[in-house]
């Protein structure tokens, strides 16, 4: 069994799969395939320790459509990467709702989650500012990261490493 079970969540199209594939392969996927849901096994060094992890890349449409499967993922995971796109207001609001759902489901334990604001390269379409993102993260007591799967700026590695640290610290 992996040391850390991570679940990547967020509204459809925010870039969850692109981020995960970028993290694991350093490649960017341009195509959008909303139906994919995959789990990946991976090992990496976090603060000089080998950490084995399983990353579950969920399908955004599950959140609306198939609550039961979604709840199963929530139970399975011990760290959650909550992704929104800075070009999609609704995806930003969904993060708050997902965190509430997690808190409720994991009670009385504290939920280990970090927020990742994606698609920072799309400056002209941007509608959520860094300030708004940081404020939300503070309200939800989560770490905050922003970046772009397209640019491959390393934000996904940073966010995943932070999640691993927090999960292992518990
Ligand atoms: P679901 O699986 O339906 O929940 O969506 P998803 O969150 O996995 O989105 P996906 O990774 O498939 O990305 C959706 C679209 O956004 C694809 O066309 C990606 O190429 C694009 N995309 C993802 N990340 C970025 C980014 O950082 N910048 C830009 N410009 N496009 C991105
Ligand atoms: Mg996907």
pLDDT tens for the 170 residues of the chain, in order: 889 999 999 999 999 999 999 999 988 988 888 877 899 999 999 999 999 999 999 998 877 767 788 889 999 999 999 999 999 999 999 999 999 999 999 999 999 999 999 999 999 999 999 999 999 999 999 999 999 999 998 999 999 999 999 999 88
18 lines ligand 1 (CB under 6 A): yes
Decide: 150 in ligand 1 pocket, CB within 6 A: yes
Confirm or reject: Cβ of 147 under 6 Å from ligand 1.
no
Q: State the pTM of this model.
A: 0.96
Name the nearest CA neighbour of 113 among 29, 66, 170, 33: 170
Whether the predicted interface score ipTM is above 0.95: yes
Q: Name the residue of 18, 61, 63 to mutate for ligand 1: max ligand atoms within 8 A of Cβ.
A: 18
Give the ligand 1 atom nearest the CA of 147.
Answer: 27
Give CA separation, 110 vs 21, 118, 151, in Å.
28, 25, 33
Burial class of residue 34 (count of CB atoms within 10 Å of its CB; 0-12, 13-18, 19+): exposed
- Asked if the bond preceding 108 is cis, omega within 30° of 0, the reply is yes
Give the per-residue pLDDT at 19.
Answer: 97
113 and 79 Cβ atoms separated by less than 8 Å: yes
Give whole-number Cα distances, 31 to 28, 34, 52, 138, 146, in Å: 9, 10, 29, 33, 22
| Strands 113-118 and 143-146, sheet pairing | parallel
């Amino acid at each position: 069994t992996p040391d850390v079970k991570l679940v990547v969540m967020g509204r459809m199209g925010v870039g969850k799969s692109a981020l995960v594939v970028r993290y694991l392969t350093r490649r960017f996927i341009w195509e959008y395939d909303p139906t994919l849901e995959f789990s990946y096994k991976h090992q990496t060094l976090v603060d000089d320790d080998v950490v084995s992890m399983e990353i579950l890349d969920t399908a955004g449409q599950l959140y609306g459509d198939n609550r039961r499967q979604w709840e199963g993922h929530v139970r399975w995971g011990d760290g959650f990467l909550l992704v929104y796109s800075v070009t999609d207001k609704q995806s930003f609001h969904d993060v708050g709702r997902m965190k509430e759902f997690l808190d409720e489901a994991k009670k009385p334990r504290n939920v280990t989650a970090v927020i990742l604001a994606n698609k920072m390269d799309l400056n002209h379409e941007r509608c959520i500012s860094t300030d708004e993102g940081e404020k939300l993260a503070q309200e939800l007591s989560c770490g905050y990261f922003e970046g772009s799967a397209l640019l491959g700026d390393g934000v996904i590695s940073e966010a995943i490493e932070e999640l691993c640290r927090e999960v292992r610290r518990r």
